Amino acid sequence: MIKANDPTRKSWVEVPADSDFPIQNLPFGVFRTESNPAPRLCTAIGDNVVDLAVLNYMDLLDDVELDNEIYSNRYLNDLMALGKPKVRQLRDRLADLLDATNDEAKDLAWHFLHPMDKVEMLLPIQIGDYTDFYSSIEHAMNVGSMFRPDNPLLPNWKHLPVGYHGRASSIVVSGTPVHRPSGQTLPKDAEQPVFGPTKLMDFELEMAFVVGKPNAMGSPVSIADAEEHIFGLMLFNDWSARDIQSWEYVPLGPFLAKNFASTASPWVVTLDALEPFRVAGPVQEPAVLPYLQSQGEKNYDLHLEVEIQAENGANAVVCRSNFKYMYWNMVQQLAHHTVNGCNMNIGDLCASGTISGKSPDSYGSMLELTWRGTKPLKLSDGSERKFINDGDTVVMRGWGERNGVRIGFGVASGKVV
């Protein structure tokens, strides 16, 4: 068992019962404070951020033997490049320092412990390239049945993880406002397109994995080795402009409807921390080609939810889904992405695609939840939403829970302005 994951561990730091960040999580992020605006690496425990640069300065991380500069970096990329064994060693050391049985760091906590609501969390990864997949069969069937009722699932869908290359430059950290995009749309019964702001602003509930180990160009990552190349997971909102999308997507797929913004959570939760939540994925029929045949439990039982918060305080949780529903898992996505020799770099991000379940309340987008606007949702004040209004904030949450331990991601939140 991974030492830091011990479910019996408790911390001397107070951790609320519903916290995403018990001592068994210890995700990685990058933060800064008003008094010290220099970015540096951190982890989370309870409602607090732990400054790793200060822990290192105080010689509390000497056992891990990392270059001092690593902890003061703007991004996690150099830490990930050290490899999983070294990062595992760091997580284990952090768990020991924060353990209730260890007084080594407790009296010095005021130096390195910051209330989470008093710090600024930054986008933790320097993202070179970004790929978005389309890997939920429920989502694919829902969308397909709206636009192609006679042929909802295209012939290739069950044979390969469908994806497209998105825009890394417009991925922003949780809390960053998102501007409603403009573009061309084709109004109903019109023969010519018009230009203007999207009227069908949507979210897409997704998870994204971060590449922590590169592969050389021309050298595919095998499905057996793929997990060694995946550092961890983030919550991800792939904002979408549905009216722009429906006009532009033929023949080459998503473009302006997707590349204006995507929102990521500030914390990267390691695959090590998510180990207890492994589950088997759906049976894949017909059988996939040998290079895509994964062995063992490669899906993860992670509860996901989406809340819409209006400016007047009205709100509603509009979606409850689960990452375990994915038809194509992460190792299959990475193996397929590289099977042609495509080289992946440290910090590359791959998103899952919208995560929908079988029940209507588990659909991962407004397009599905309101069925193209024909079934509006109600907020707590009785107001309705067909899609996302200006002033609305979309908040995504995700967590796994087992053996009395809850491992979460915080939030991926963005306000439409």
Residues identified as active-site: 139
Rg (CA), the chain: 21
Residue 412: Cβ within 10 Å count: 30
Residue with tokens 């997971």: 233
Instruction: Specify the amino acid at residue 145.
Output: S
Of 159, 166, 196, 203, give the one whose Cα is nearest residue 181: 196
DSSP string across 241-299: EHHHHHHH-TTT--STTTTT-EEE-S-BEETTTTGGGEE-----SSPPPGGG---S--E
Beta strands in 111-212 (DSSP E): 113-115, 120-122, 130-133, 163-165, 171-173, 182-185, 194-197, 201-202, 205-211
CA 189 to chain CA mean position, Å: 38
Q: Which residues pair with 195 in a beta bridge?
A: 184
Phi and psi based region of residue 46 (left: phi greater than 0; alpha: psi -120 to 50; beta: remaining): left
DSSP 8-class letter at 204: B
User: What sign has the CA pseudo-torsion 254, 258, 260, 266?
Assistant: negative
Q: Of all helices (H) and strands (E), which one includes residue 368?
A: helix 366-369
Residue 302 CA to residue 256 CA, distance in Å, equals 30
Residue with tokens 């203007």: 196
Residue with tokens 């005021």: 110
Alpha helices by DSSP H, 83-156: 84-98, 109-112, 137-147
CA distances from 342 to 118, 336, 337, 345, 358 (A): 42, 10, 7, 10, 34
Residue 336 CA to residue 37 CA, distance in Å, equals 41
